[in-house]
């Protein structure tokens, strides 16, 4: 002889709610990760912008930027100030930088840029007291960055 059990409405509702809670708990993952995984005591990943270091103008910086990028930037500089002035220009900054987005720290109005970290380079040449700033992504061509200074391209 088989028995048939009938559940009242409140028991059905409680069973449905319990099942929903179990399903939600199963989808949330495991225990929270340790601080060692995130690099930050708050448990959130830490984000930082590229460090800005003011170089000593009397001591040119070299060695971090591939020679091909430096040469390409010098060609752009020659287009702007002339070959003779570009040959006499001093490279005062040549550094590897991780830019916060595809603008390479030099956004242009009306342009859209990738919103991810972009490894690249920053070069600053000095010509007759004027500074010319060039930026490049790691595998790209340099371009002049006009932040209100002399126009170089």
Q: Does 22 map to a domain? A: no
Among 18-22, 93-97, 134-138, name the one with the lowest average pLDDT: 18-22
Counted domains in the chain: 1
- Give me 80's structure tokens: 């702007």
3-state helix, strand, coil in the chain (%, to 5): 30, 20, 50
Q: Does 124 map to a domain? A: yes
Q: Does 87 map to a domain? A: yes
**Parent domain of 99:** 67-144
Looking only at the bridges linking them, the beta strands covering 90-99 and 130-137 are unpaired
Q: How many CA atoms lie within 13 A of 39 on its CB side?
A: 4
| Per-residue pLDDT tens digits for 21-60 | 777 777 666 555 555 555 555 556 555 555 544 444 434 4
Decide if pLDDT at 5 tops 90: no
CB of 73 within 8 A of CB of 66? Answer: no
Q: Does 15 map to a domain? A: no
Would the pTM count as exceeding 0.75? no
| Residue 66: how many other CB atoms lie within 10 Å | 14
Q: What is the DSSP letter of 46?
A: P
Q: Does 128 map to a domain? A: yes
Q: Does 89 map to a domain? A: yes
CB-based contacts of 103, cutoff 8 Å, min separation 6:
111, 113
Please tell me the distance from the alpha carbon of residue 10 to that of residue 152, in angstroms, as a whole number.
77
Query: Rounded to whole angstroms, what are the CA distances from 12 to 6, 9, 119, 146?
Result: 10, 5, 58, 69
Q: Does 123 map to a domain? A: yes
| Per-residue pLDDT tens digits for 58-111 | 344 445 899 999 999 999 999 999 999 999 999 999 999 999 999 999 999 999
Q: Does 132 map to a domain? A: yes
């Amino acid at each position: 002889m088989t028995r048939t059990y009938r559940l009242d409405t409140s028991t059905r509702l409680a069973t449905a709610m319990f099942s929903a809670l179990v399903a939600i708990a199963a989808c949330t993952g495991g225990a929270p990760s340790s601080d060692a995984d995130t690099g930050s005591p708050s448990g959130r990943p830490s984000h930082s912008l590229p460090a800005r270091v003011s170089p000593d103008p009397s001591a040119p910086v070299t060695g971090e930027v591939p020679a091909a990028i430096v040469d390409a930037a010098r060609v752009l500089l020659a287009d702007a100030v002339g070959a003779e002035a570009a040959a006499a220009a001093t490279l005062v900054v040549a550094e590897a930088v991780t830019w916060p987005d595809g603008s390479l720290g030099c956004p242009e109005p009306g342009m859209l840029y990738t919103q991810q970290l972009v490894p690249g380079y920053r070069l600053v040449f000095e010509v007759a007291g004027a500074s010319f700033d060039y930026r490049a992504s790691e595998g790209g061509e340099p371009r002049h960055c006009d932040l209100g200074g002399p126009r170089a391209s």
